[in-house]
Amino acid sequence: MTQLLEDLTLITAKTLEHYNERAVEFWEGTRDHDVKQNIEALLRHIRGTPPFHILDFGCGPGRDLVAFRALDHEPIGLEGSPPLAAMARKHSRCEVWEQDFLALRLPPGRFDGIFANASLFHVPRQELPRVLRELHAALKPDGVLFTSNPRGNNEEGWNRGRYGAYHDLESWRAFLETAGFAGLEHYYRPPGLPLERQPWLASIWRKSGVSGQI
């Protein structure tokens, strides 16, 4: 168990170090990415009357917080990298929580939707069931989780200084359904390209009953 905890601590520390050292570079490289398709997919499935309470899980420098706020919703960011969290607060003027993905402290039943765009792939497979249950608990009844991750063949490990787990659709579906989510839709990105040139798997899930126990 001690070795396992040490490994997880190293994964978190080195991945965050990667982002801490490249915060400005990351902002410049991603600030103009068009993820309107993803934002619309999340909002389309949320039931109820807006404004919606949205958790931007892994909000980075705050690009999507700005987009949700411009649509008159009430977003809160969550980010593990202190420099990126500070940038997100500055760019969006939203509340941003600094939390390790593997040590979340989320209020129960708080959010209509969770937007996990290019973030959950940093969670090691062994920890993913627990993290998904925690996200499940943070959603309101019938709340919606959006995820987008670089897809793969269920491998995980280090990639240019960051730790990542790269799921195919079947593996990802199994994790989400066991955690108590029902699938709503999925698609590959960027849009309009052949599948072999669409490295991102996007999927939308509704909280459905009690999360599974693993």
Q: What is the reported pTM?
A: 0.93
Convert the pLDDT of each residue in 171-212 to its tens digit. Answer: 999 999 999 999 999 999 999 999 999 999 999 999 996 544
pLDDT, the chain, mean: 92
The domains of the chain are located at 2-207
**For residue 32, what pLDDT is reported?**
72
Gyration radius from the chain CA atoms: 16
Cα–Cα distance for residue pair 182/160, rounded to 1 Å: 33
Convert the pLDDT of each residue in 86-134 to its tens digit. Answer: 999 999 999 999 999 999 999 999 999 999 999 999 999 999 999 999 9
Q: CB burial class (10 A; 0-12, 13-18, 19+) of residue 150?
A: middle
**For residue 213, what pLDDT is reported?**
38
> 2-207 in CATH: which number?
3.40.50.150
Average pLDDT over residues 56-69: 96
**For residue 31, what pLDDT is reported?**
67
Position 2 confidence tier, pLDDT thresholds 50, 70, 90? very low
Number of H-type helices and E-type strands within the chain? 7, 9
**For residue 6, what pLDDT is reported?**
54
**For residue 28, what pLDDT is reported?**
80
If we measure between CA atoms, which residue out of 35, 214, 60, 76 comes closest to residue 132? 214
198 in Cβ contact with 189 (< 8 Å): yes
For the four alpha carbons of 99, 156, 204 and 142, in that order, the dihedral sign comes to negative
Q: Is the pLDDT of residue 148 over 90?
A: yes
β-bridge pairing 139-150 and 181-189: unpaired
SS (H, E, C) 43-111: HHHCCCCCCCEEEEECCCCCHHHHHHHHCCCEEEEEECCHHHHHHHHHHHCCCEEECCCCCCCCCCCCE
